[in-house]
Amino acid sequence: MGRLSGKVAIITGAAQGMGASHAKAFVAEGAKVILTDINVEAIQELASSLGDSAIAVKQDVSKQADWDEVIAKGEAAFGLVNVLVNNAGVLGKIATTLDFSEEDFNWVCAINQTGVFLGMKAVIPSMIKSGGGAIVNISSIAGLVAIYGAPNAAYVASKFAVRGMTKQIAVEYGKQNIRCNSIHPGYIRTPMMAAATDEEGGEALSMIPLGRLAECSEVSNLAIFLASDESSFITGMEHVIDGGMTAL
């Protein structure tokens, strides 16, 4: 019996990086997983490698209709959904506030903020029918503190919003046995991080007490804990995984 046996999970942004890591780890722990991403070829390849425990659904998380399709296909394949990992996210261009357009701001927030809201709204009815569930929202340390050199104000705003929505859902739906927690990664070795800095984290390493980037698997271990019954009395909380960066 795996730690997630009996769980049916949606993992967004599963084409690469942390999302792909979460998908592999969840299946290894016994979950049935619905993988979503706009990169449908990548998630189809990943789902095929995971066998009968995974399906792939193309999705733009900022679109309500796409969420309706993900829920319908997930329930048809595996039954009621009782875990959601809102992992999909974008950085947006690296720019100061004065150089960041309204259009750019709205695009980042549509993915990082509205996408999380729509995902929770879409999955809660399935969770209520199944007797409860766990929502894991991937935020950032940029959802806890201001970060000098952060990509842009929209990224920070959206990640703070994820933190707030997490607490609200935890309070609103706790009586229905739905838990909601946020994960706040620091610098993780992902393609997104490499694009923003370099493969080793660039100057960020000097700000991390442990002196290294985290591996995706380390974040996946935390996501598994929060999705599992091991964390049955934990909800509405921020869970930081940053090598001590925000302790400074």
Catalytic residues: 155
Residues with Cβ within 8 Å of 39's Cβ and at least 6 positions away in sequence, in order, are 15, 16
Report the side by side order of strands in the sheet with 83-86. 54-58, 32-37, 8-11, 83-86, 133-138, 178-185, 238-241
Q: Do residues 14 and 23 lie in contact, with contact meaning Cβ atoms separated by under 8 Å?
A: yes
Q: Do residues 202 and 193 lie in contact, with contact meaning Cβ atoms separated by under 8 Å?
A: no
Residue located via tokens 């929770």: 120
Q: Which residues pair with 36 in a beta bridge?
A: 57
**Angle, helix 17-28 to helix 216-227, in steps of 10 degrees:** 50
